[in-house]
Structure 1
Amino acid sequence: MLRLQRVEPAAALHADRATYPDRLIFHTPEWLAFVAESRHAEPVLATVRDGSATVGHFTGLLTRHYGLRVLGSPMAGWTTSYLGFNLLPGVSRREALRALPGFAFGELGCAHLEVRDRGATEADVAGLGLRWDAAPTAVIDLSPDEDALFGAMASACRRNVRKAAKSGVIIEEADPDPVFADEFYDQLRDVFAKQNLVPTYSVERVRSLIRHLGPAGRITLLRARDADGRCIATAVLPWYHRTMYFWGGASYREHQHLRPNEALIWHALRAAKARGVTEFDFVGGNSYKAKYGTTEVAVPWARQSRWPLVAHLRNAAQRGFALKQRATARLTLTHP
């Protein structure tokens, strides 16, 4: 039977975690520092024990909602795709997930937990008392050569990449600095305004991400310029080990006819290959991503509450956030 034991962060601990083949950028100290800062959360690291042997690690963060302690691994709204476990080959993810509620509700004293583990399947979470959603993501295997990757795109997508080039759109890699964050966020506001919404996070979230990941060389920032040199689109792409992630992309509506978004993604795929990355994760399963030749992967997002009332509070908070966002958008768009 597996059990979790909380441990203090240390250089040796992080070094051991970095040897696991299922490690992700979201398990790194830099990413945890970003989430801790932007969400005012406390990182929680634990070893997964099988008797006296360490067979894995767990990563999460503690936060408070309605005065109650919550363990997120991650929580929705943290702009963090997955956390969960790092496990040695052959160690059961289902058994690790089975041990998690006892750790969260017992040792940590939490009222609610959520976990999205990239290596977990629906079979791993079914029947454990966890409520879960499939939460699919769209990925691209970068093992094929560039010609094969380009050929796997929909024909309209390939035409748009070529149109961007013919229109003079240039893609450049930007320095990790606040200037880029401001450009990206201004374009993001325009994207949300198209739907009469406002962004779900502030520009400081973007600055924090760049500030923490930039010095470690774990983020690629792309800027699309038109023929006159104006920045018309941007993309934020954290990467580590075998995967690059599409954390965010934005563009001005008035320049979308130049197709800078398709040009950004095509550049990102080639940049990922050049860095030795073997997978591109779009972080979500929206249908528009299929044109890039993606494969859909189901990654369960599971949750459990210690008391039924907490589950109702969690759902009410989600509905309240959506209403608040729309109300804020109406005020912002009416009185900019």
Structure 2
Amino acid sequence: MCVENFIETEVIDITNYYDYITYPDLFLHSSWLKAIEEGLGFKSIGLLTKFEEIPVCLSIFLTAQKAGAFRLAGAPLPGCFTPHLEPVWLKEVDDTFKVKIIEMQNRFLIKDGFSYIERRFRDDLLVKKIGNKKGYEIKFPETFILEIKDDLDTMWKTMEGRSRNMVRKAEKKGVKLVKGEGNVSEIEMFYEMLKIVFAKSNSLPPHPLSLYKSIVKNLMPENRVLILSSVLNDEVIAMGFFIYDDSEIHFLSGASLPEAYKTGANNFIQWNVIKFAVNHGLKLYDLGGKGIPSIDKFKASFGGKSHKYGKIVWRSKKALIAEKIYRNILSFKSKLKV
């Protein structure tokens, strides 16, 4: 008997997602998906897979069209502040069956004309079982995860000594913490500061202002956005942008002026995020992706441990060629700047 003969996948509309998802995590929440759609112009679709007519798995993808001819589907797509979009398993099934369903959903998208498919998982276990087959590119991007304990003293001791010293320095220098309200002028001020940071490397912020505004618009009414500023002598010298739900908080983006490095203003913000997590009974803090040694060292100083996500990518032949050409153009432009 061929199991695949009893598996069917269909597209469902966003209005029907939550008939199947009772307790969505932060990145599957309707307000987050709406924020991404409005901020980046993506669309979302749901793939519902049934086995013998019983719903087994719901995967939500963000979709976009590039260069007119290329349709992209990602759970999630790159560039949307979303580290993972887990499939929702509606029935208990073993990992072998999960891999089969994921592959069948991907084939469904390929048949529907998608040139690029990306999936990112909360951990690396299932991706290891999928393996590098059927033209998939397998990666394991890393982040820092800080487990939140229920008392501040424990969290303070979890931090490295140099980070605690910088928090003390900020307090001694008179740095004050201000919790943002999410108004437009505040978001625009943050983005201007962010542009100053990226200008040092002759680049622009990778995420548009519209995305930040959309996140605040959609999540702030549900108390899922935290904006913290370090203020010295009535001047904002550092800002941090975070999102959270009832169990975890994620660092999205941060920016600071040169004065912040001298006063410990960035450490001060991070310590106050940890305090916020403790006071709200959250279980973990994701400090964001690894990749830049100096920033990695800063994040590690708060006691976070390295954690691997799982990522698989499939590209059509045309998409592979187009991506190679695009990367060559970027490399050429980069050389011209030198």
The bucket for the TM-score relative to the shorter chain is: 0.7 to 0.9
Q: Secondary structure at the match of 2:34?
A: helix
Q: Secondary structure at the match of 1:249?
A: strand
Deviation at 1:319, TM superposition (A): 5.5
Q: Tell me what 1:43 maps to.
A: 44
Q: Tell me what 1:317 maps to.
A: 326
Q: Which of 13, 18, 28 does residue 14 from structure 1 map onto?
A: 18
Q: Tell me what 2:213 maps to.
A: 207
CA deviation vs aligned residue, 1:123-147 (integer Å, no higher than 9, x gap): 2331442212111111101135222
Deviation at 1:317, TM superposition (A): 3.3
Q: Tell me what 1:111 maps to.
A: 115
With normalisation by structure 1, the TM-score equals: 0.87
Deviation at 1:281, TM superposition (A): 0.7
Deviation at 1:99, TM superposition (A): 2.3
Deviation at 1:68, TM superposition (A): 1.6
Q: Secondary structure at the match of 1:81?
A: coil
Change in CA separation of 1:64 and 1:183 when aligned onto 2, cut-off 3 Å: same
- Report whether the alignment pairs 1:195 with 2:201: yes
Paired letter, 1:241? D
Q: Which of 299, 309, 313 does residue 299 from structure 1 map onto?
A: 309
Deviates more, 1:144-153 or 1:164-173: 144-153
Change in CA separation of 1:89 and 1:297 when aligned onto 2, cut-off 3 Å: farther
Deviates more, 1:280-289 or 1:229-238: 280-289
Matched-pair contact (CA < 8 Å) for 2:73–2:114: yes
Q: Which of 226, 233, 237 does residue 232 from structure 1 map onto?
A: 237
Matched-pair contact (CA < 8 Å) for 2:39–2:213: no
- Aligned-residue sequence identity (percent) comes to 19
- Report whether the alignment pairs 1:184 with 2:194: no
- Report whether the alignment pairs 1:74 with 2:76: yes
* Structural mapping, 1:1-336, within 5 Å: 3-10=8-15, 13-14=17-18, 16-19=20-23, 23-66=24-67, 67-88=69-90, 90-91=92-93, 92=95, 93-106=98-111, 108-121=112-125, 122-129=127-134, 130-226=136-232, 228-286=233-291, 287-288=296-297, 289-305=299-315, 307-318=316-327, 320=329
Q: Secondary structure at the match of 1:17?
A: coil
Paired letter, 1:304? W
Deviation at 1:265, TM superposition (A): 0.8
Deviation at 1:26, TM superposition (A): 1.5
Q: Secondary structure at the match of 1:223?
A: strand
Change in CA separation of 1:317 and 1:75 when aligned onto 2, cut-off 3 Å: farther
Paired letter, 2:78? A
Q: Secondary structure at the match of 2:326?
A: helix
Separation in 1, partners of 2:19, 2:257: 42
Paired letter, 1:233? A
Matched-pair contact (CA < 8 Å) for 1:191–1:253: no
Matched-pair contact (CA < 8 Å) for 1:173–1:220: yes
Change in CA separation of 1:40 and 1:53 when aligned onto 2, cut-off 3 Å: same
Matched-pair contact (CA < 8 Å) for 1:14–1:28: no
Give the length in aligned residue pairs. Answer: 322
Q: Secondary structure at the match of 1:191?
A: helix
Paired letter, 1:308? K
Separation in 2, partners of 1:69, 1:145: 48
Separation in 1, partners of 2:211, 2:92: 37
Aligned-CA RMSD value: 2.4
Separation in 2, partners of 1:239, 1:323: 40
Deviation at 1:196, TM superposition (A): 2.8
Unmatched runs of 5 consecutive residues or more in structure 1: 331-336
